[in-house]
């Protein structure tokens, strides 16, 4: 980034305003230092506040907010597959007793998972048009189910803990990005972005 | 006298497009007013400091998860006591949960009184208050049909709201208080009052009503009840949106819960 007046190699004009292009002929100026990837940070707030910067942020935030579409789809598919297997096993065997003496009806567990599959898939579909609303619901639903599991079977809390943390982190990031996206859209004067396709 | 190359710029120094005035083009021009403080290092830092919307959403989530924590604590206590659960213990636990719920919700209502009080200061159109008990008939019928259908398919264990209180010698008035009055008031203030208002800061009113109804159904942690609670939540959200008042919502919720308790009590007693 130029810090002092730069002489244009094309037209020999002196550029008082530091920049990438010559203000006299419009052609590229040589970069005095190696240029890092341009990100919207506190150091380049001017760019972040410009129209191009806001459009770039909006695109990036919209992409982050819609990350919940895939996560909810994966959760729906996993719940659906597991639910079908448990339902088929449950229909053939009836209620089973675990080592802890708990009577478990796999048929009911299977049906529950199939209902959850339907909810997750519906949320994934909704997230395409309303990513923030679907992400909030998905985050609350998944976390509530983890709390319910924790209460029902505390010994299983560590099973798949990394997967659970990743799911919650991605959904939380999608919610955060969705909120910022809505705020940015308001500031850009495009409404709240609700119902956008 | 200025140098030849130091005159008014003809091209933008940032993107190279021709300009007719100023130092930059319209797209690259810095903002006229530096209105937002920007912490360094954040990729989207220029908007992350607007605390209002995230703080409100966080408040809604805080309230939801605190209420979920109360339910989880009650369930753990139930499991710890195990086979030694007596009707008296169940009644005391119900009262304790109702009290904790009320304390959390009242704290949240006081904290966000600017959002909640307007819904108490207006009655809304009287038509909504008159229609609320009739709507409750519809939600109770729907709940009976869904629960009855699922019970007939899977023969789930019976759950009784009034049996412990009746067995402990309190009569029907206590379950009416803990199952009908308290939840109707506290849940409506929490969901249609605080959470809906908080969500409306970041979502469209229609989306906020749907999300609130979903949170309301999820918090009950019952797949069996999920369908009719979702429908009931949507109806309550619609009434709150149209009337702008919490009174019809509280009345509908009370009528629904009271009908369930009374129907169950007199059906079992018959």
Which residues are within 8 A (CB) of A31 and not within 5 positions of it... i.e. 6 or more apart?
A: A1, A20
Alpha-carbon distance of B107 to A87, in angstroms, equals 44
Give the Cα separation of B154 and A143 in Å (integer).
Answer: 27
Of residues A17 and B191, more confidence is placed in B191
Q: Tokens 């992409």 sit at which residue? A: A63
Token reading at B215? 């949170």
pLDDT at A22 over 70: yes
Full pLDDT tens readout for chain B, 270 residues:
444 445 667 777 777 777 766 676 655 655 443 333 444 444 443 333 334 333 478 888 999 999 999 999 888 888 887 777 787 888 888 888 889 989 999 988 888 887 788 777 787 788 888 888 898 899 889 888 888 887 777 666 666 777 777 777 777 888 888 888 999 999 999 999 889 988 888 888 888 999 999 999 999 888 888 888 999 999 999 998 888 888 999 999 999 999 988 888 777 654
Q: Strand locations in chain B, DSSP E?
A: none
| pLDDT tens digits for range A121-149 | 999 999 888 888 999 999 999 999 999 88
pTM of the model: 0.73
User: Alpha-carbon distance B132 to B151, whole Å?
Assistant: 28
Predicted local distance difference test score (pLDDT) of residue A103: 64
For residue B49, count other CB atoms closer than 10 A to its CB: 12
**Residue (of B136, B139, B116, B124) closest to B242 by Cα position:** B124
- Chain B touched by A112 (CB under 8 Å): yes
Average pLDDT over residues A81-95: 82
Cα distances (Å, whole numbers) of residue A185 to A177, B202, B247: 12, 11, 35
Q: Across the strands, what pairs with A28? A: A21
Q: Which of B184, B78, B225, B104 is nearest to A112 (CA)?
A: B225
Contact B165, B175 (CB under 8 A): yes
- Is the confidence at residue A196, as pLDDT, over 50? no
Across the interface, do A14 and B48 touch by the CB < 8 Å criterion?
no
Q: Minimal Cα distance from A19: which residue of B?
A: B13
Cα separation, B123 vs B118, in Å, equals: 10
- The answer to whether the complex's ipTM is over 0.90 is no
CB contact (8 A) between residue B29 and residue A19: no
d(CA B186, CA B207): 22
Give dist(CA B58, CA A61) in Å, integer: 19
pLDDT of residue B237: 92
Average pLDDT over residues A10-15: 84
What is the gyration radius of the CA atoms in chain A, in angstroms? Answer: 26
Residue A28 three-state SS: strand
Give exposure, A30-69, as e/b (b: 16+ Cβ within 10 Å).
Answer: eeeeeeeeeebbeebbbbbbbeebbebbbebbbebbbbbb
CB within 8 Å of A185: residues ≥ 6 apart: A58, A191, A192, A193
- Residue with the two structure tokens 């409306």: B200
Non-local (6+) Cβ contacts of A78 within 8 A are none
Residue from the list A15, A49, A194 with its beta carbon closest to the beta carbon of B203: A194
Where are any strands of DSSP class E within A26-121? 96-97, 103-104
- Tell whether B203 is within 8 A of chain A (Cβ): yes
Please tell me which residue, A172 or B54, carries the higher pLDDT value.
A172
Chain B contact for A146 (CB, 8 A cutoff): no
Closest Cβ–Cβ partner in B4, B44, B211 for A133: B211
Q: Two tokens at A81?
A: 């597959």
Give residue B19's pLDDT. 75
């Amino acid at each position: 980034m130029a810090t002092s007046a730069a002489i244009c190699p094309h037209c020999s004009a002196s550029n008082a305003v530091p920049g990438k292009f010559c203000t006299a002929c419009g052609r590229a100026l040589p970069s005095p230092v190696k240029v890092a990837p341009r990100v919207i940070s506190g150091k380049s707030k001017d760019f972040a506040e410009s129209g191009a910067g806001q459009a770039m942020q909006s695109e990036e935030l919209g992409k982050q907010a819609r990350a919940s579409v895939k996560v909810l789809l994966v959760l729906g598919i996993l719940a659906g597959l597991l639910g079908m297997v448990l339902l088929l096993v449950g229909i053939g065997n009836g209620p089973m007793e675990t080592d802890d003496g708990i009577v478990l009806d796999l048929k009911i567990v299977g049906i529950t998972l199939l209902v959850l599959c339907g909810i997750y898939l519906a949320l994934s579909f909704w997230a395409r048009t309303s990513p923030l609303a679907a992400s909030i619901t998905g985050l609350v639903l998944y976390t509530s189910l983890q709390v319910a599991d924790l209460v029902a079977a505390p010994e299983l809390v560590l099973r798949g803990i990394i997967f659970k943390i990743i799911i919650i982190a991605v959904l939380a990031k999608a919610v955060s990005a969705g909120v910022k996206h809505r705020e940015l859209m308001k500031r850009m004067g495009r409404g709240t972005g609700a119902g956008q396709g | 006298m200025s140098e030849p190359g130091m005159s008014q710029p003809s091209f933008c120094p940032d993107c190279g497009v021709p300009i007719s005035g100023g130092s930059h083009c319209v797209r690259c021009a810095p903002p006229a007013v530096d209105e937002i403080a920007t912490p360094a290092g954040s990729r989207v830092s220029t908007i992350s400091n607007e605390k209002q919307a995230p703080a409100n959403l966080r408040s809604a989530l805080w309230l939801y998860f605190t209420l979920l924590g109360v339910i989880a604590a009650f369930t753990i206590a139930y499991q710890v006591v195990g086979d030694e659960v007596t009707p008296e213990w169940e009644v005391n636990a119900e009262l304790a949960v109702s009290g904790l719920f009320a304390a959390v919700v009242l704290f949240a209502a006081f904290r966000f009184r600017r959002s909640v009080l307007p819904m108490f200061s207006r009655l809304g159109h009287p038509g909504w208050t008159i229609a609320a008990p009739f709507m409750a008939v519809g939600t109770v019928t729907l709940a009976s049909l869904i629960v009855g259908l699922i019970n007939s398919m899977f023969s789930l264990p019976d759950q009784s709201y009034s049996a412990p209180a009746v067995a402990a010698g309190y009569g029907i008035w206590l379950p009416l208080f803990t199952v009908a009055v308290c939840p109707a008031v506290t849940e409506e203030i929490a969901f249609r009052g605080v959470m809906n208002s908080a969500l409306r800061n970041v979502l469209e009113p229609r989306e906020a009503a749907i999300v609130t109804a979903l949170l309301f159904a999820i918090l009950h942690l019952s797949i069996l009840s999920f369908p009719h609670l979702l429908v009931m939540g949507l109806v309550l959200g619609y009434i709150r949106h149209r009337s702008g008042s919490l009174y019809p919502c509280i009345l509908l919720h009370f009528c629904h819960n009271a009908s369930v308790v009374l129907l169950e009590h007199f059906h079992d007693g018959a």
